[in-house]
Structures are given as structure tokens and as C-alpha cells.
Structure 1
Amino acid sequence: MKTNRRKFIATAATMAAGVAVAKALPLTTMTNKYHIVHHALFWLKNPGSIEDRDKLVAGVKSLGKIAQIKELHVGIVASTEKRDVVDNSWAVSEVMFFASLEDQAAYQSHPIHQQFIKDHSHLWEKVVVYDAIDA
């Protein structure tokens, strides 16, 4: 019984110390390392096809070979809480970060991007793109 009680006290003390340290740290905001964000959402022609989704995911990931893309995140719909403001009708998402508008423009005409479109456009019914620059 003493061992369990000692473990509990030690664990509680460690947790309390962690909370105290976390509260002492200043809040920081995210720094914008890259100035252009390119976010594309893809709707599949065959929305129930995991095979088509996975092919598209692999294709989007291949775009990471383009030097102008500084960071790339590829995702699929998360099973989060259903709310009026959440649109989960799409299948695949890409978020890319570029250092400049020129880099984003170079990406658009890059041979790897053009090949991606040629090889994968038969998989999607619709694509919506949101481009943003630092405010």
C-alpha cells in the first residue's frame, strides 16, 4: 500500500511541476517561415473508392520533389465532430508552402506538376484551390 501511495504522490508532484513550468512559459505565435500557402481540395469521381483516393494521395505526395515547394502536407478527411462550419465532402487535401509568388508560379508550370495533372486528373471530379499570402 505504501508503494502505491508513494507512486501516486510522486506522479502528482511531477504533474504539478509540469503544469507550473507550462504556465511560466510565454505564449508564442506561429512565425510565418514561408509567405505563400497553396491549399487544394480534391473531390473524387468515385468518392467511395479507397484505391482511387490512395492513388491520388501518392500522386500529390510526388509533387514534393519540386524544389520550389518548401513544405507539403497531404491529408484525407478527418472524422471530426460534425458541425455546420465543417465541410468534409472532399477526399484529399494538399497544403503547400512557397517562399514567394514567383516560386508558386514556377510550381504551376513545373513538368512534375504538369505530369501529375496528366496522370491523375481522371481521378477527380472537382478541385478547389485557396491561395493565401501573409497578412
Structure 2
Amino acid sequence: MKDFDSNYAHTVYFWLNNPDSKEGCKAFEVSLRKFLDNSAYAKTKFIGVPPRASREVVDGSFTYSLIVTFESADAQQEYQKEAPHLLFIEESSKLWNKVIVYDSKAIIE
């Protein structure tokens, strides 16, 4: 994983249709890794799964999380249109039933 770029963080949570399907999870992971390996804009590329929650405030209902950082909001906009991202959506959107995205920019002091 490359260094975290605090200029722009893109955090995505995915809920797969069948989170217990090893084949579905494998297909999702392969497609996601292929996309991230070929993205010209994504810097930090973190793929996660929920840990066992030890507190009530922790939402572990998702199947996968993705944290991607960018050098700028413009780079994030270009990422949305790039071929590897569009191919990932085409290949994998049938595997999920819910996606939530949280974008944030660093506080500038």
C-alpha cells in the first residue's frame, strides 16, 4: 500500500448479495484488485473486512470496505471515469445489493 494521501479520502462500504459465497467473494476480490492495480489515480489502496465488533458503535454489517486516497478532488473525479473503475462496476455490481460512499478532504490549518 502506498502512503496515505490526506488530500482526498474515498471510503466505500459494500454489502454483497451473498456474503457467505466463497465464489462470489473471490470474484469480487479479484475484480477489485485488478481495478486497483490498474488505476492511474488511486494512491492508498486498502481493502478490508469487518473485524469482530467489540463496541456497540462499531458497524460491522458490511462485507468489504475500500479506502482509496487521491492527490486532489480532480484526481478523484478522473478516477470515477477511468476504464478500470468502470470495468470493476460492470463486473461486480451484480454481486452487491448496497454500497455507501463517504468522501472527505483534509482539514487545512
Pick from 65, 69, 85: which aligns with 2:42?
A: 69
SS of structure 1 residue aligned to 2:20: coil
Which protein is bigger by CA-based radius of gyration?
A: 1
Name which structure has the greater RCO, CA cutoff 8 Å, separation 6+. 2
Q: 2:95 aligns with which of 95, 98, 123?
A: 123
Give ranges in structure 2 of 5+ residues lacking alignment: none
* TM-score, reference length from structure 1: 0.71
Kindly report the root-mean-square deviation, in angstroms, between the aligned alpha carbons of the 2 structures. Answer: 1.7
Q: Any idea what SS the aligned residue of 1:104 has?
A: helix
Structure-2 separation of matches of 1:37 and 1:116: 19
Is 2:25 aligned against 1:46?
Answer: no
Query: Distance between the aligned counterparts of 2:8 and 2:42, measured in 1?
Result: 10
Return the TM-score normalized by structure 2: 0.87
Q: After TM superposition, what 4+ stretches of structure 1 lie above 2 angstroms from structure 2?
A: none
Distance 1:42 1:67 in 2: 22
Deviations along 1:27-57, one digit per CA (max 9) or x if unpaired, are xxxxx74400000000011122122122212
Which structure's residues are more often helix, by fraction? 1
Q: Give the % identical residues.
A: 32
Q: Which runs of 5+ in 1 are unaligned?
A: 1-31
Deviation of 1:80 (Å): 4.0
